[in-house]
Structure 1
């Protein structure tokens, strides 16, 4: 059941997270630029099994969560580290053609995305950590991946949604009131990190799951180990989408209506439009 916050309720950005490498550690940022494919640097890199060419996530390799990622803009480096590794891996943050291998198609669920391998040093470091031969792939900046599943109508989303190596949509938005409600119904407390959101909103008067009725929000121009939780508990009370009654729902997928602006922690967010949400199978 979705509750509705009072009309004058003020939502604010309480946290922003970027996940440069799909399924590796996130980076908390104070501000981030909005691009057509999500927050700047989000999920531009991904691991592939060398043998099968399939993309790698925490679903298969849960210890990927232990890979820490740092964005070094002054040094033009993306830096990966892990406690179990003696050294760090650094790759160009803005790779040039000479830094990358040939273009090839990478399958991400139902979409083919054009990627390019990041070289042998990345292969060696990540293969040693994962324990299997893997490659680090960068999304080709000249290639476009249009979202092909569950696309809203153009009157709701006038800018055709795109993404990089995210599962589907470029943004995942969650709220603190929803997490607080979840934590009343699970055996041990969870954090927003369990759900890997890009944008976390908070509101002292906000209702849990209010975000499930939003169709348009506006950002103000003012200032491990594999675990069956939280999904095991959430299936008892959060299979709330009639279009996918067997799947857990927490947070909302989103796509931008404009790009280029910077959003920041503490920024006010207004709910401009509401409506019903239900996943529909793609044609």
Structure 2
């Protein structure tokens, strides 16, 4: 098999960025889902509350595009910022854009609490400049949050013990290295013992899908109509599987990176799908006609996970075993090194 597409999503639920290559870090692909949006509820007379925003519930999030900003030094592989551009479907106004640093200065930013799928973390409120821009586009008060070095715990049995051991070892090595150069006040207390975790991705570091399964899903639509793979929001797209849905029984894949390092991904859970795959990206609303029925068309035979028995499955969630710091690219060879006898059962909520 080969890697055919790579994507990151700097802001959760906004459109992603297609990449020719991507760096693998301890939380997935570098710069993936390190920001998210929250709607502000309440105010003067009631307590202020921040509600998570996701494209399945706030469909107009599909109208926001993201893109890389070239480094001022002209290094073709160096990107320190990205843009978010909003263009309303019926607006006569030109698109509006804001530039955001991948690693912002957090020294004077306020901390907020974020809980996603019962997995909590703290994050940074990016402040008035960014919050005001997003609020103006949505028409209500919104906060842009940045996770920084904080992490969300993985619940249930989704975290593979082998991956945890490898990533924890790498995390401790980096912490010891930083400790030798930085004042003790800067190195977070207990950093070496902190378990690895995830960013604002729903439940895993990686989402892997195949071109073969996409083709089978598209075959359920009328002739000449194809499903847009971006609506499945993958990180890594593969081609060359034995057939559609074979990934249901993959337990581990290895990617042979061009720098000679083998990147190991443990695949421990299925990705259950929701109404977000029915959204029309040109209108920011649920699609009309056949394109708005993709979820329904997958229901009859793709509800294969006993832990998510009401949702069809498309793709596998993965966690890093080894290979942090490597770069993976389109065209890299991929092999299945572990196959399962039966599909995994989703158990995120049971800890």
> Could you state the TM-score of these two structures normalised by the residue count of structure 1?
0.88
Q: Which residue of 1 aligns with 2:333?
A: 268
Matches of 1:86 and 1:222, distance apart in 2: 38
Q: How many residues align?
A: 270
* 1:282 to 2:289 alignment: no
Matches of 1:122 and 1:171, distance apart in 2: 27
Q: Which residue of 1 aligns with 2:262?
A: none
Structure 1 residue 242: Cα displacement = 2.3
Encode CA deviations 1:229-252: one digit per residue, 9 max, x unaligned.
321211122111123221210000
Kept in 2, the 8 Å contact 1:177–1:208? The answer is: yes
Matches of 1:136 and 1:172, distance apart in 2: 23
Structure 1 residue 159: Cα displacement = 4.3
Encode CA deviations 1:92-133: one digit per residue, 9 max, x unaligned.
2211124x5222211112111211011212111111111221
Kept in 1, the 8 Å contact 2:152–2:199? The answer is: yes
Q: With CA pairs under 8 Å and 6+ residues apart, which has the higher RCO, 1 or 2?
A: 1
Structure 1 residue 36: Cα displacement = 1.6
Matches of 1:159 and 1:214, distance apart in 2: 20
Structure 1 residue 147: Cα displacement = 1.1
Structure having the higher helix fraction is 2
Matches of 2:67 and 2:309, distance apart in 1: 38
Secondary structure, counterpart of 1:126 in structure 2: helix
Q: Which residue of 2 aligns with 1:80?
A: 84
* 1:70 to 2:107 alignment: no
Matches of 1:177 and 1:157, distance apart in 2: 30
* 1:190 to 2:194 alignment: no
In structure 2, the CA distance between the partners of 1:41 and 1:229, relative to structure 1 (3 Å rule), is farther
Structure with higher Rg: it is 2
Matches of 1:30 and 1:86, distance apart in 2: 26
Kept in 2, the 8 Å contact 1:17–1:197? The answer is: yes
Kept in 2, the 8 Å contact 1:73–1:93? The answer is: no
Secondary structure, counterpart of 1:250 in structure 2: strand
Q: Which residue of 2 aligns with 1:200?
A: 237
Gaps of 5+ in 1: 1-10
* 1:177 to 2:241 alignment: no
Higher mean C-alpha displacement, 238-247 vs 191-200: 238-247
In structure 2, the CA distance between the partners of 1:157 and 1:248, relative to structure 1 (3 Å rule), is farther
User: What stretches of structure 1 move > 6 A for 4+ residues in a row?
Assistant: none
Higher mean C-alpha displacement, 108-117 vs 145-154: 145-154
Structure 1 residue 74: Cα displacement = 0.8
Gaps of 5+ in 2: 42-48, 73-79, 89-93, 168-195, 260-283
